[in-house]
Amino acid sequence: MKRLFLLVLSAALASGALAASPRQPNIVFILADDLGWRDTSLYGSKFYQTPNIERLAARGMMFTQAYAASPLCSPTRSSIMTGLWPARIGITTPACHVQEEVFEEKLIPKGPRGSRALQAISVTRLKQEYFTLAEALKEAGYATGHFGKWHLGLEPFDPLHQGFDVDVPHTSGPGPSGGYLAPWKFPPKLNFQGQPGEHIEDRMASEAVKFLRANKDRRFFLNYWAFSVHSPWDAKKELIEKYLKRVDPKNPQRNPLYAAMVESLDDAVGTLLKTLDELGLAENTIIVFFSDNGGVTFPAANESKRTPLRPEFGSIPITSNTPLRGGKATIYEGGTREPCVVVWPGVVRAGAKSDAIIQSVDFYPTLLEMAGLKAREGLVFDGISFVPALRGQPLNREAIFCHFPHYVPIVSTVPSAYVRKGDWKLIRNFCDNDDQSDRLELYNLADDLGETNNLAAKMPEKAKDLNALLGKFLADSHAVVPKPNPDYRPLPPGARPAEGWISSKDADVMIKDNQLVITSTGGDAFVYTGGIPAGKGPFILEFRMKSDSKGKGQLLWSVTPQAQFARVRSVFFDVNHDGQWHDYVLKLPVAQAIKHLRLDPCAAPGEIRVEWLRLKDNADGVVAEWRFDAKKAK
């Protein structure tokens, strides 16, 4: 009997039937920043060229309905690391690089008189109590490396304290400090300034390659979270010139600067693929390609004096998500539907395509299952594993959700949330009717991908059912839900909302007679706006204003994604309160890019009218301009 067993064993070994099981797969997660659903040739762009992303898709599965958990970056990043909804985590805006540590999301207790809802204040750190994807893989024996943008918190909430062995360049900011072309302006202690003209994405890819080579003989998790294609918008001169020749004025995607940035991102993907092939690792490496939110649809700042651009490029929208509606910071499809490719050699059919609805909260449980790992005992995810979809099977899920309790003036976003169930999508705009009740939008995405036909009034029962499902999500996730603003005042006849401008509780703001009209009740009356594209200081603000009030004026600015104003970031100026038009020119001694402007025009009751404003940078280029007639521009 023993001899027979040995003969069978020998034959089995010779045939390979009992060959050693393969090593657990390596994992490479490539996350683009602000890359829109249509921003690659893989998803139909006729302007951008992304052959390496197409090569990636040829090896795996392309998803047509993949969603970020938020229309902004940090919330989505937190969902990837935890498998939880941003509503549960409390990180709902990209404020994780600010100095203030906020660990509990809450509503702002008072709102401007022009805002119907009280909006939320976001958590600013990914708390260490979460057992991250990186920590799970490290515990399972993986070498873990993070390269690029983090934006989930300063030390001790940085990658090195959240499960990563390596973090390059170990920065907490929202974008590549100082621009994409070296010398960069990271803190000197990081010793990461680069050679003059070196592109940061080229450098990050080369740093990631070092990690791959150092860990080629063991399991690894490479978290390549690219800086591209977030602002500041600059790129290689030769690539800008290349795309300048390809511009079609009829194509909504026609900004050669952004196209050059997309190609540099694609080059980095190519570098990683080439290295995996050279090291013989491709056949045992899972690769995910995704983006954290939709593409930016508003115009870039005028960068002509700092990059090889002609001045008119500053007025061209960064990109277009057409046929999707909206983009970054909006609750519509253009804000959260993302490009997504997953490569799983030996399991996923090469060149496959899936219409399964997946979301960023799903990556954590999915990658664990793909790696043959079980979640730590007691760990609960909001996401689900979409391994069935990767195997070509139906994916059983009830719905996906998104909660965004904030105003974003530059794209007219109001505090809102959505649920998508099957082909149906319901948006709840909190307190946005005239009586401060919730305003609903209902779309059938199968028939109306561009979300142009609101069916809420025609299909009240469908809207009611989905709204109830959305309400359950908000309750289950302990979301901070906006409430009616008790200080809200409706607009008088003949006026319209001052889209993009928010007032304090001591002021009303509206557009009337093609002018920005500010009515002060005294006290701390001011208006502010945000989402200023970019620019580099010092700045100059020019504007035309008339007032019948009293007191000095003050202009304040914020350099953070949230509107945070302080006296140290302000200038005072004398105001002529004679009821006549006067032109003002204010110098703003700030070197950083400005995110918000706040105008405090008086210190007493009265009416102030502004005809236009124009913000210029240190190159005398127009960073932003506000006009209030029917052809208003910003």
Read off φ and ψ for residue 450, nearest 5 degrees: -85, 5
- Could you report the per-residue pLDDT of 60-106, keeping only the tens digit for each? 999 999 999 999 999 999 999 999 999 999 999 999 988 889 999 99
Q: What pLDDT is attached to residue 562? A: 66
d(CA 25, CA 221) in angstroms, rounded, equals 9
pLDDT of residue 469: 98
pTM: 0.83
Per-residue pLDDT at 12: 40
Note the pLDDT of residue 16: 37
pLDDT tens digits, residue range 267-305?
A: 999 999 999 999 999 999 999 999 999 999 977 643 333
Burial of 471 (0-12, 13-18, 19+ CB in 10 A): middle
Q: What is the pLDDT of residues 387-406, one digit of tens each?
A: 999 999 999 999 999 999 99
Contact yes or no for 350/343 (Cβ under 8 A):
no
Amino acid at 84: L
Work out the pLDDT band at 632, boundaries 50, 70, 90: very low
Predicted pLDDT of residue 385: 98
In this prediction, residues 461-474 reach a mean pLDDT of 98
Average pLDDT over residues 617-631: 77
pLDDT at 189: 76
Q: What is the pLDDT of residue 312?
A: 59
Mean pLDDT (the chain, rounded): 90
Q: 32 forms bridges with which residues in the sheet?
A: 291
Least reliable range by pLDDT among 2-11, 102-111, 416-425, 519-528: 2-11
Q: Residues 533-580: pLDDT tens digits?
A: 666 778 999 999 999 999 999 999 988 766 788 899 999 999 999 999
Structural domains for the chain: 26-86+127-393 (3.40.720.10), 501-627 (2.60.120.430)
Q: What pLDDT sits at residue 591? A: 82
Q: What does the pLDDT read at residue 187?
A: 80
Max avg pLDDT among 97-106, 169-178, 313-322: 97-106
Q: How high is the pLDDT of residue 583?
A: 97
> Which residue has better confidence, 188 or 67?
67
Check residue 11 and give its pLDDT: 42
Query: Which residue spans within 12-165 are E strands per DSSP?
Result: 26-32, 61-67, 106-107, 117-118, 120-121, 143-148
Residue 99 has a pLDDT of: 86
Report pLDDT for 314: 64
Mean pLDDT value across residues 171-175: 87
For residue 196, is pLDDT > 80? yes
pLDDT over 70 percentage in the chain: 92
Most confident range, picked from 163-172, 173-182, 590-599: 163-172
Smallest CA-to-CA distance from 246 within 397, 109, 46, 400 is with: 46
The mean-pLDDT minimum among 89-103, 135-149, 504-518, 617-631 falls in 617-631
Instruction: Tell me what pLDDT residue 382 has.
Output: 98
Q: What is the pLDDT of residue 9?
A: 37
Q: What's the CA gap between 161 and 251, in Å, rounded?
A: 45
Q: Which residue has the higher pLDDT, 229 or 174?
A: 229
Give the pLDDT confidence score for residue 528 in this predicted structure. Answer: 92
Higher-pLDDT residue of 60 and 22 is 60
Band (588; pLDDT cuts 50, 70, 90): very high
Q: Which of 2-11, 156-165, 471-480 has the lowest mean pLDDT?
A: 2-11
Closest CA to 292 of 410, 181, 205, 174: 174
* 451 Rama class: left (phi>0) / alpha (psi -120 to 50) / beta: left
Report the alpha-carbon angle 249-250-253, nearest 5: 80
